[in-house]
A and B are shown apart, each in its own frame.
Chain A
């Protein structure tokens, strides 16, 4: 938490800040001074109903949940809007059939690429951006590694899985796959 401003609107005659006293009362960490000082004790007595009410309100709050349907309403707007409408055009294979282009949205390609990287390999992909260049597809991903993962092995394996996918399933060339490891994590 950020450093709080030092000017205090509310100091008791003994110099204790009302904020601090309240925090201690709430956390059950009252100091010896606060326990014995008449000013602190009087203030604590004054705050008692508010603290009880706050406790009751927080207890009730825990029962408050978002109304049913909120998630669906939000997600239907989100899905209708999508994020990026950019697409990549897949090369045509074979000469049969009616003419026509096949385009896949970047967000769909990113999702498929992420899904190719099995977390069991110790790497979790976050951001995964793609760009088409004359040399082929450039993938820029961020990743978290699970504790104990050998990073060069995990990233090499992820690159392999993603390249195979791009080449075999999309029929595109891969120019490069950059993986930026941003953190080491433990899975819950």
Chain B
């Protein structure tokens, strides 16, 4: 059992599918940082990201027997956390149907004061991302920061690859404009 961390991932996945919690623990150790990062990037809030990461990992354990291809585990796990993070975003503003892909910008979690304080590019990017409608934000984050393909993102956000492409395009246009002062 102590050698679990040295085992190939597909072996760990199959063992975990059989109910081997040591194997699952090794998988959690390998993937928890990425899972947390996806949640944090999407939600922008550490406490919410932690809850979402925890929910994703526990859901992964419960649904693991349904996973047919053990090699697909990382992408499957990323989809799970992406979907949960998006749900959390939607739940945050029940009065605002986040499904609606408004292209106008909103200030969310980063008001003008935050922007004024944004002293470096990364801070500016963070602020600009916070101003994006959630569907655009998550598509952009998953594409540019996590390197997922359009098809995978479409599955997470429950839309078509073409719609994902459109959202990323609009997100990028907004971000390029928001960062113009740094040109």
Residue in chain B with minimal CB distance to A182:
B10
Contacts of B145 in A (CB 8 A): 54, 57-58, 61
Task: Check B175 for interface membership: any CB of A closer than 8 A.
Answer: yes
Task: Check B44 for interface membership: any CB of A closer than 8 A.
Answer: no
Interface of B is mostly: helix
In the complex, A121 Cα to B39 Cα: how many Å?
41
Contact B150 A2 (CB under 8 A): yes
Residue in chain B with minimal CB distance to A128:
B18
Contact A66 B32 (CB under 8 A): yes
Contact B182 A52 (CB under 8 A): yes
Q: Closest CB-CB distance, A103 to chain B, in whole Å?
A: 15
Contacts of A110 in B (CB 8 A): 15, 18-20
Q: Closest CB-CB distance, B95 to chain A, in whole Å?
A: 30
Task: Check A102 for interface membership: any CB of B closer than 8 A.
Answer: no
Asked whether A71 and B29 contact (CB < 8 A) given A46-B176, A53-B125, the answer is yes
Contact B8 A144 (CB under 8 A): yes
Contact A82 B19 (CB under 8 A): yes
Contacts of B7 in A (CB 8 A): 124
Q: Closest CB-CB distance, A85 to chain B, in whole Å?
A: 10
Chain A contacts to B: CB under 8 angstroms: 1-5, 7-10, 18, 45-50, 52-54, 56-58, 60-61, 64-67, 70-71, 73-75, 77-79, 81-84, 105-107, 110-111, 114-115, 119, 124-129, 142, 144, 183, 185, 187-188
Selected A-B contacts with CB under 8 Å, 12 pairs: A4-B161, A4-B165, A9-B165, A9-B166, A46-B176, A49-B180, A53-B175, A56-B121, A58-B145, A70-B32, A106-B19, A107-B20
Query: Which 3 residue pairs of A and B lie closest in terms of their CB atoms, listed nearest first?
Result: A83-B19, A126-B14, A107-B19
Beyond known contacts A111-B15, A188-B8: 17 more, CB 8 A cutoff: A5-B150, A5-B161, A5-B165, A53-B124, A57-B122, A66-B50, A67-B36, A74-B57, A74-B58, A82-B19, A83-B18, A83-B21, A107-B18, A107-B19, A126-B14, A127-B17, A128-B15
